[in-house]
A and B are shown apart, each in its own frame.
Chain A
Amino acid sequence: MIVIGGGPGGYVAAIRGAQLGAEVTLIEKNKLGGTCLNVGCIPTKALLHASEIIEEMNHAAEYGIQVKAEGYDWKQVLAKKEAVVKQLVGGVTGLLKANKVKVVEGEASFTAAKTLSVKKKDGTTEALTADKIIIAAGSVPAIPPIPGVEGNPACIDSTGALSLKNPPKSLLVIGGGVIGMELATAYHAFGTKVTIVEAMPKLLPMMDGELTAMLRGIMEKKGIEILTEAKVLSVGNSGGEAEVQVDVKGTKKAFKAEKVLVAVGRKTDIQALQLDKAGIRQDRGKVLVNEFMETSVKDVFGIGDCLGQIMLAHIASAQGELAAENALGDKEVFDMKTNSSCVYTMPEFAGVGLTEEAAKEKGTEYGVGNFPLFANGKALITNGGVGAVKILYGKKFNDILGVHILGPRATDMIGEAALAIGLETTVEEVIRTIHAHPTVSEAVREAALAAEKRAIHIPNK
């Protein structure tokens, strides 16, 4: 089996394939660990942890701890981030070796249906073929066709945002999606004046609207400027700074910022693959696969970001495992219903299943159970009780349709909710589950109680 790409999709597929007895070769053109480990999830969260420490220290006096953040050593901030990345990349390298996966460093392209030509770093070319091929070529940041962005030294993408020489004095973030919101959160903590400019009426399109609005309020209160229904018209330069022309709900406004972070999304990175040589069908850069992760060519599979669908590392990994299994004799369908979305803002924001918006669009009859975190002891201690839990359930059979959590540890708590949805759990079954006290997760049980109009720790309306 050949796996093209060593990110969370590719290396997981390779390890799974090896576990199932295949002889696996993994081709990586850049760094093992892909976007996620090197310029995505991991470094962002490492940076965010540093900003979280600053935030905690700003509240330390409340808890009687006399300490003041004297400042920060940005070099060390970056160094620590890099150390974490290096450790994990090293870990992946070790795992691949342990599983006897052969790693070939180079850029792969198809010459025939199951034949690849790999252009190696030293300039040589190697031809490779295998019984089964899994394409996990990943994605890169997308640059929108806004005049003045391309080639502008003030404009950076997420990769650039993780290796700035210093936190900028001011930062304008184009795009109110996950990446924009997280990097805005991180840099704000380091003292950057941050402005988020989002073209749509709503931030974080895949998240629950009500809780998103709550998060927006929290961020604005901290001093992060957020504009929605605001379209960036052009980016220019003015006295060493970037000047951004924005159409804010019909009114033209100009913003100045040291740096402009372009975070409008990502696009697939399959150009070099030359899929047409193999007859592998794609749709405007997105590799086309069926529910078994099979491409249009027998024995060739596609997973992760290069499908251009849900670009999340855990989706790539899940698809990678499945593709490896299907390549080696299984025939399982990829089921996404337990997929969670996580946003590492402060507080954290996570959701699984249907949002209210999605339920309304589907016409599903649903009920809601809400629980505010100011009524939860652990949340109160942790962040002053900021946040809420919302549970959506089917009116007819009380099955859990969606769970949305804004608050401390939301991204960890969402696992319970994902399991519940996967197991067709009902509201009463969540209620019957004893949740430890004091935890933030008992708010999930309270939200279930609230759904039945019998919450204990808030008055029921």
Chain B
Amino acid sequence: MSVELVMPKAGLTMIEGTISNWKVEEGASVKKGDVVMEFENEKTTMECEANEDGILHIVANAGDVVKVGEAVAVIAATKEEFENLKNGGTIPQTTAAPISSKALADAAEVVMPKAGLTMIEGVVGEWKIAEGETVKKGQAIFEFENEKTTMECEATADGILHRVAQTGETVKVGHTVAYIAPTKEAYEALAKGSGPAKPAQETAGQEKAAVISGAEPQEGNAVAKDGHIRATGLSRNIAKNAGLNLALVSGTGPNGRIVAKDVYAYLEAAKAVSVAAPAVKAVQSTGEIVKTPLSGRRKSIAKNMRKCFETMAPLTVFAEVDVTDLLAMRQKYVAKAEVLGCKISVNDILMLSVVKMLKKHPLLNSTFDGEIISSYPYVNLGMAVGLDEGLVVPVLKNADQYSLLEMSKALRDLAVRAKEDTLVGGDQSGATFTVTNVGMFHIDFGTPVISPPQVGILGFGTAKKKLVEYQGEFCPRTMMHMMLTFDHRVFDGREAGEVLGDMKTLLENPELIFV
């Protein structure tokens, strides 16, 4: 006996598939399980297997759009049957999957039309016919919109209209929008029985109502005209437990009755399809998204940051420095603050050290335009200051001409003006090198970004007490990281190492800073 091969339902919402290509020829012998055809639905391409051994007679060709459950081929059991089929013989009726409820056979279903190849769903617009009014086949009954346009939907039969979907509701293509009842009695039964698209009436005894799925269209076939759903007690309990509306489930029991395995199958399929719906706590986000455009300053910072990575070859090397002695020296200055007239900060000493180092490494005190390195006879030292509004880098011009005391005063002045936003243009430009001291931000070390066209930037991290080897013994010392980001187009690791080495020497022997 010949067997129909139908378009499979590959996905919960699949209504039809397009045959991509046939992998075997007309008349070929196939075995059950052989891949014979490839088809596409909205989501993906899949393979279709032969469901029997036999000879293949193709009914739908590549490129054809075939509804789920309809025949794409017939597999004939014998050569004679195949010849018969080829010559236009009828395909024997097999027990096809139920497509529509027998109980609803009286009423004509009006579904959301597919007005466009990519249309998946439509929004019901204006109803042109009132509830309960008589319509004639071909008459426009409602308007609907898809992504592209607004269209009219016509009545598929004569009869009395029972509206199911409302204006504004989104209905998937192929799903019910209305019914056209052939007689007044049929209409009354439909309207009274609250229609299949509404939540099913539970039989007496069930305390809780089934979960209402709102605009969810009917997919199952077990709903009778009066709204009663044919289902076994066990299947009802399983559905209730899962919060599932039984009206959605197709029944495979006697007369389309829903049995336990049908509910389980529906829940499995729903689980597989809802990829984006993890079974976790449903959290409602409150509040609104705050949108802030970049400020001018932020834009400028962004541009420079980007430029560094786009034009340079930045690389960062690190070293840890023993600043115990440096801090002790600073304390001495602090003790003498009155005499000096100002309080020397650690940063002041660090900045001075950098200047001294730069004098020894003129290549680092340079700018690079991609072709020519310009080394400067003076040091314009940029000092990165982190403000609420963003990073500011005031520049101490001719920093190499300052004593520690003078530098301390000048840097303080720049910092205050930076905070008060009273820096002038010249204050923020012309730096030949930049220092970024991020110690106060609890940063151990980082990878500072060079401000083009400079070729390097030195950063300092948080000072911490650590047990390190000092003069042959392990003792607690205050350690601090230094990080030098340099442009590898201009330098190599060797020079960077030397720079860090010299800085280390200065900071660990701070008396050398002043020599």
Residues of A whose CB lies within 8 Å of any CB of B are 329, 396-399, 423-426, 428-429, 432
Q: What's the nearest-Cβ distance from chain A to residue B94, in Å?
A: 11
**Closest 9 pairs between A and B when the two form their complex, measured CB to CB:** A424-B234, A426-B233, A424-B232, A399-B234, A397-B237, A429-B233, A425-B233, A424-B260, A432-B205
Residue B380 at the chain A interface, CB threshold 8 Å: no
Closest to A420 in B: B233
Residues on A with C-beta less than 8 A from B437 are: none
15 contacts between A and B (CB under 8 A): A329-B1, A397-B234, A397-B237, A397-B238, A397-B241, A423-B232, A423-B233, A424-B233, A424-B234, A424-B235, A425-B234, A426-B233, A426-B236, A429-B205, A429-B233
B83 to chain A, nearest CB (A): 22
Chain B residues near A429 (CB, 8 Å)? 205, 233
Quick one: closest B residue to A422, CB to CB?
B232
On whether the beta carbons of B259 and A424 are closer than 8 Å, the reply is yes
**CA gap between A396 and B241 in the complex, in Å:** 9
Within the complex, which residue of A329, A399, A432 is in contact with B237, where a contact is CB–CB below 8 Å?
A399
Q: In the complex, given contacts A397-B238, A399-B260, A426-B234, what are 19 additional A-B residue pairs having Cβ atoms less than 8 angstroms apart?
A: A396-B241, A397-B234, A397-B237, A397-B241, A398-B233, A398-B237, A399-B237, A423-B232, A424-B232, A424-B235, A424-B260, A425-B233, A425-B234, A426-B236, A426-B237, A428-B205, A428-B233, A432-B204, A432-B205
Residues A399 and B233 in contact in the complex (CB < 8 Å), given A424-B259, A424-B260: yes
Residues in chain B near residue A426, CB distance under 8 A? 233-234, 236-237
Describe A's contact surface by its main secondary structure: loop
Q: For A329, what are the chain B residues with a Cβ–Cβ distance below 8 Å? A: 1
User: Whole-angstrom distance from the CB of B323 to the nearest CB of chain A?
Assistant: 68
The contact string, 1 if C-beta is below 8 Å from chain A, for chain B 228-268, is 00001111111001000000000000000001100000000
Query: How far does the alpha carbon of A425 sit from the alpha carbon of B236 in the complex, in Å?
Result: 10
| Most chain B beta carbons < 10 A, residue from A397, A423, A428, A432 | A397
Contacts of B1 in A (CB 8 A): 329
Instruction: Across the interface, name the chain A residue whose C-beta is closest to B206.
Output: A428
CB distance from A399 to the nearest CB of B (A): 4
In the assembled complex, the CB of B239 is this many whole angstroms from the nearest CB of chain A, namely 10
Report the separation of the CA atoms of residues A432 and B260 in the bound assembly, to the nearest whole angstrom.
Answer: 20
Residues in chain B near residue A425, CB distance under 8 A:
232-234
The contact string, 1 if C-beta is below 8 Å from chain A, for chain B 1-12, is 100000000000
Which residue of B is nearest A423, CB measured?
A: B232
How far is A398 from B204 in the complex, measured between Cα atoms in Å?
17
| Distance in angstroms between the alpha carbons of A398 and B233 in the assembled complex | 9
Instruction: Please give the distance in Å from A122's CB to the nearest CB on chain B.
Output: 42
Contact residues in A for B235 (Cβ distance below 8 Å): 424
CA distance A425 to B259 in the complex (A): 10
The docked-state distance in angstroms from the alpha carbon of A423 to that of B1 is 33
Residues of B within 8 A of A428 (CB): 205, 233
* B265–chain A nearest beta-carbon distance, Å: 14
A residues less than 8 Å from B259 (CB atoms): 424
**From A428, which residue of chain B is reached at the shortest CB distance?**
B205
A366 CB to closest chain B CB, in angstroms? Answer: 14
Residues of A within 8 A of B236 (CB): 426
- Complex: A424 Cα to B233 Cα, angstroms: 6
